A and B are shown apart, each in its own frame.
Chain A
Amino acid sequence: MAIRDYIRERFMPHIWCPGCGHGIVMNNLIRAVENLELRKRDIVMVSGIGCSARISGYLDFHTLHTLHGRALAFATGVKMARPELRILVPMGDGDATAIGGNHFIHAARRNIDLTAVIMNNRIYGMTGGQYSPLSGRGKAATTAPLGNIDQAFDIADLAMSAGASFVARTTTYHAVSMIKILEKAIMHKGFSVVEILTQCPTYFGRKNRLGSAVDMMKAYKTGTTPVGSEAKKEDPELIERGIFVEEDRPEYCTEYENIIKKAMGVH
């Protein structure tokens, strides 16, 4: 199918600012689904609230645009009810790790077969540039005019510690490898997390004098390095990208099928 066959053109134009990275993520999600030859009717996209959450409305899947932070809780209900459906959960960094932090760690702990795509732009964009748990110490935001004193999370570390069986990180600069990572995450049986560093030139970029969207993407090129590379040893400031964990562990809905068999006395 053509890319446009996945898009609800009726609902265009989208709401994203010029230079926003979310469109790159949406494009690559479509390409991953296309490459995997998945049927649109087998895909449910569940999102919360925020710029990133709007992806769900634009795509021609079963789409559920829910409450701020709660996408994974809604998605858990959908997946438990219909385990054969593939569930994609696009989230923002505030959506996933602040207001939705509890649901995030528990979905990871259960290892329920959902694909969480976290667009980390380090800011609350839709409300106009407040600091998020990913902004980082010393950064500027509309609610940190004198400098942010909040320490940041490492989403990949958090996901791994909580029990996610697939954890990866990529950036909007690395668009081609992002497709492959998304394909693996979607096909992985268990809770998969893909953190995507994505630029918000309008708020995070402007507040922190990071230049244009292109400048911010170039910084993803120079500021990241493949997992386990020598460069990281020389420069600990570099952010690792690639797949951190990909393990076969008991998946929640499969485990629950066994509970049903036990309850019914089927052995």
Chain B
Amino acid sequence: MSNKTLFLQGNAVCVEAALYAGLDFFAGYPITPSTEIAELLSLKLPRKGGKFIQMEDEIASMCAIIGASLTGLKSMTATSGPGFSLKQEAIGYAVMTEIPCVIVNVQRGGPSTGLPTSPSQGDVMQARWGTHGDHSIITLTASNHQDVFAMTVEAFNLAETYRTPVILLFDEVIGHMREKLQMPDPEDIPLVERLWTSVKEGTDFHPYLPREDGRLPMSDFGGIHRYNVTGLIHDMWGFPSNKPDVAHGLMHHLVDKIENRVHEITRYKEFFLDDAECILISYGSAARSALHVVESRRARGEALGLLELQTLWPFPAEVVRKRCAHAKYLLVVELNMGQILQEVKKAVMDPEKVFLSNKIDGTFITPTDIRNVLRLIQGKGV
């Protein structure tokens, strides 16, 4: 870690991390509260020879980064709720065609135009199931700027490793809050670069024939191999197919490459879990208040712990089940009506012990809000 300390907005941290990870292409459309990401990159990208473009709409931005990624450039777009809705069809295209890219969603209140300048974590399920059809997807989040940096770099690494779109689900508090960032040195965090095919020119290249380890080497558009990319179900040549065995095989490949590697994709943090009778499960900005409650109760000798999720999808069900098995109560803290709550209930042996502390009014959840729910669970009244 370098001595370089910066004091930045979360959106600016995301920009620094994306550049650190090797971002070369960004396409976006103005939308609160993510616009600063586009503004900063419109200067910082051309400074390193990269490309920035403000497209005519959110859909076009998503399409443009897929096109650019196919030529070999690490690519990203940034948006918020309404824009995230518009991008969904093209996100599914990136899933189907296995083109790496990163989508930042700085969440605001919804549905519809909602609360544009207020925090929310209402897009958790949309990140999972926003695009149509069976599929799997990777979604990461963070609660502080050091982790925003780490998870943004991680998003690029996972996108390249699994050849998939990766969603960074931040929120308005994280995006606009200013706090310290200890800037990592260039070598501090390993970067995953694109896996290029070793197939020589003139030899048949199968763009959609995975290696034994499931990874799929790429050949850049404009390079030595010419091949077809389509959003239709396709065979190893990348050509459309209606054959049931081809469809079955591709669907399984797309889902299995992620669901079979949950343990490799899962990132989380834990605080005082080992002897905790009550475990708070939280993520993103809500985890800041949860951590405050846990630390202050611990100081008074109460056995509280915090499991902070950083990978939301694929959901780390095994981690939740194992690390929370001994607790009497679980309290999910989130800024929505219980989207991760349902996943936690599905993951644990005894869903009756899972409770929710949430806020959906556009204001930030405070330690007092969480303490009030704790009193109810513990039978102490409000």
Do A and B bind? Answer: yes
Residues of A whose CB lies within 8 Å of any CB of B are 8, 10-11, 40-42, 44, 46, 56-57, 60-67, 70, 73-78, 80-82, 84-85, 102-103, 106, 256, 259-260, 262-264
Q: Is the CB of B221 within 8 A of A82?
A: yes
Q: Does B47 contact A (CB under 8 A)?
A: yes
Among B170-178, B184-192, B223-231, B288-296, the one that faces the other chain is B223-231
Q: Is the CB of A66 within 8 A of B231?
A: yes
Interface positions of B from 30 to 75, Cβ below 8 Å from A: 43, 46-47, 49, 51, 53, 55-57, 59-61, 63-73, 75
Which of B43, B68, B73, B232 contacts A263, CB < 8 Å? B43
Q: Does B254 contact A (CB under 8 A)?
A: no
Size class of B's contact patch? Answer: 35 or more
Complex formed: what's the CA distance from A106 to B61 in Å? 13
Complex formed: what's the CA distance from A212 to B46 in Å? 55
The 24 sampled A-B contact pairs (Cβ below 8 Å) are: A11-B228, A41-B223, A41-B226, A46-B67, A56-B228, A63-B226, A66-B231, A67-B231, A73-B55, A73-B60, A74-B66, A77-B64, A78-B221, A80-B51, A81-B51, A81-B72, A81-B73, A82-B221, A82-B222, A256-B46, A260-B46, A262-B46, A263-B43, A263-B46
Provide the B71-114 mask, 1 if CB < 8 A to any CB of A, else 0. Answer: 11101000000000000011001000000000000000000000
Q: Does B237 contact A (CB under 8 A)?
A: yes
Q: Which residues of B contact A75 (CB under 8 A)?
A: 67
Q: Is the CB of A67 within 8 A of B67?
A: no
Residues of B whose CB lies within 8 Å of any CB of A are 24-25, 27, 43, 46-47, 49, 51, 53, 55-57, 59-61, 63-73, 75, 89-90, 93, 221-224, 226-232, 237, 239-240
Q: Which residues of B contact A63 (CB under 8 A)?
A: 226-229
Complex formed: what's the CA distance from A41 to B227 in Å? 10
Which of A41, A76, A256, A263 contacts B67, CB < 8 Å? A76
Q: Is the CB of A85 within 8 A of B222?
A: yes
Q: Is the CB of B56 within 8 A of A106?
A: yes
A16 to chain B, nearest CB (A): 14
Q: Is the CB of B229 within 8 A of A260?
A: no
Q: Is the CB of A76 within 8 A of B64?
A: yes
